[in-house]
Amino acid sequence: MQQTLRQVINFSAGPATLPETVLQQAASEMLDWHGTGVSVMEMSHRGPHYMRIHEEARQNLRDLLAVPPGHHILFLQGGATLQFAQVPLNLIGRGDGADFVNTGDWSAKAIKEAARYGAAREIASSQPEGFTRIPAQSSWKRSERAAYLHICSNETIRGVEYQFDPDDHGVPLVADMSSNILSRPVDVSRYGLIYAGAQKNIGPAGLVIVIIRDDLLGHALSATPTLLDYREQAQHDSMLNTPPTFSIYIAGLVFKWLKAQGGLAAMGEHNARKAQRLYDCIDASGFYRNAVAKDDRSRMNATFTLSDPALDERFLKEAAAEGMTDLKGHRTSGGMRASLYNAMPMEGVDRLVSFMRQFETRYG
Ligand code: PMP
């Protein structure tokens, strides 16, 4: 892996750390992209230079995820949160409401928003267990007539991740992959629609990637704004209006970087090793604890608590003094969270683990 340890090791859940070489390249091209004399930010989105950037980004993403020819790749805006509305606006009219598996804060938000447009049924939930696991598929109370079935493949806040692609039973699967897209190979053909905000494994916040199967286009409710109609966006190459050109350019650099790392198979192995190292440290100690069922632990967001929460502030302060930032857990769940996205090098995890061991020796 071509990864360097930077001065600040940023464990933020997003916006998150990006590959240093990508940032360096963007910096070196900032004033003059490939001898054009202008910045990507200043280019017409319909001009040949930007069109090349746009096309290359899309093709590289298609290659990385092995997106089948019948699926469209869209570069949209509004973050993943807008998808909580855009998905039902476009799809819920196809059937009798939609089914949702509730595994945490982000799936709950998707359910709440979808309920504005039709029946949003919670067909399984891990809420009674404090969102610490993925409910077994056999317990999901699916409806055959649902327009789609929605999951959140990685719950960023509590650190719970699907380790399998659910069966679709003839109902299109929709997945919010904001916090684990591109972290390992995924069989895109099993999904009707995948969406992901960019600010974790892809690039700048605001950009959102949508991958949608062709037959799911053209079902938008009549009140759907044109800009939010997936079919319109697919027909206009995500250029119905001015797209977020600079964000797409940065995402394109990240896609090239991922290819140079060996693609998603290599990334997946690397990410699994990183997460294992941190979870091993947690499990070997009586001082740190992760509440998630072992089989459902996230490889992207590892959450843990200290045996004495009174030490939380000291932990964060001492970690920051050693250059490790953004380890504070989400405000709704407390504790700690280390996000280990693609751009986090193994050395970053090693540094954290050795700090945690030391801290335990001193205060445990
Ligand atoms: N879904 C998941 C899984 C997330 O982690 C987030 C953001 N952390 C969102 C949705 C919302 O993303 P955005 O802020 O880009 O709207």
> How far, in Å, CA of 298 to CA of 98, rounded?
26
- What is the overall mean pLDDT for the chain? 97
Question: CB of 103 closer than 6 A to ligand 1?
Answer: no
Task: Give pLDDT, residue 152.
Answer: 98
Tell me the mean pLDDT in the region 254-273: 98
Q: What CA dihedral angle connects 260, 245, 53 and 3, to 10 degrees?
A: -10
pLDDT at 229 over 70: yes
Strands in 22-172 per DSSP E = 71-76, 98-102, 120-125, 149-152, 154-155, 160-161
Q: Give the number of C-alpha atoms closer than 13 A to the C-alpha of residue 184, restricted to the C-beta side.
A: 20
Predicted pLDDT at 306: 98
Asked if pLDDT for residue 5 goes beyond 90, the answer is no
The yes-or-no verdict on residue 103 having pLDDT over 90 is: yes
- 362 Cα to the center of ligand 1, angstroms: 36
Active site residue 295: no
Verify whether residue 308 is a known catalytic residue. Answer: no
State the pLDDT at residue 2: 65
| Average pLDDT of the segment spanning 166-172 | 95
Q: Which of 99, 106, 274, 328 is catalytic?
A: 106
Best of 179, 193, 200, 330 for a ligand 1 pocket test (most atoms within 8 Å of beta carbon)? 179
Q: What percent of the chain shows pLDDT beyond 70?
A: 100
Instruction: Name the pTM for this structure.
Output: 0.98
Measure the CA–CA gap between 309 and 201, rounded to whole angstroms. 30
- Identify the residue whose C-alpha is closest to ligand 1 atom 2: 178
The DSSP bridge partners found for residue 212 are: 72, 193
Q: With a 6 A CB cut-off, is 203 part of the ligand 1 pocket?
A: no
Cβ of 244 below 6 Å from ligand 1: no
Q: With cut-offs at 50, 70 and 90, classify the pLDDT of residue 333.
A: confident
The whole-number pLDDT of residue 202 equals 97
Q: What is the pLDDT of residues 275-288, one digit of tens each?
A: 999 999 999 999 99
Dihedral over alpha carbons 310, 314, 319, 322 (to 10 degrees): -170
Task: Note the pLDDT of residue 271.
Answer: 98
Using CB atoms within 10 Å of the CB of residue 31, give its burial: 0 to 12 exposed, 13 to 18 middle, 19+ buried: exposed
How confident is the model at residue 332, as a pLDDT?
87
Instruction: Write phi, then psi, for 351 (nearest 5 degrees).
Output: -60, -45
pLDDT of 155 reads 98
Q: Which residues on adjacent β-strands are paired with residue 174? A: 150, 193
* Separation in Å, CA 361 to CA 254, 352, 357: 39, 14, 6
Q: Does pLDDT of 81 surpass 70? A: yes
Q: Is the pLDDT of residue 34 over 80?
A: yes
Closest ligand 1 atom, CA of 206? 15
Mean pLDDT over 246-274 rounds to: 98
pLDDT of residue 139: 97
Mean pLDDT of 346-356: 98
Query: Does 350 qualify as catalytic in the annotation?
Result: no
Q: How far is the CA of 80 from the centre of ligand 1 (A)?
A: 5
pLDDT in tens, 124-139: 999 999 999 999 999 9
Q: What is the pLDDT of residue 279?
A: 98
Specify whether the backbone of 124 is left (phi greater than 0), alpha (psi in -120 to 50) or beta. beta
* pLDDT at 192 > cutoff 90: yes
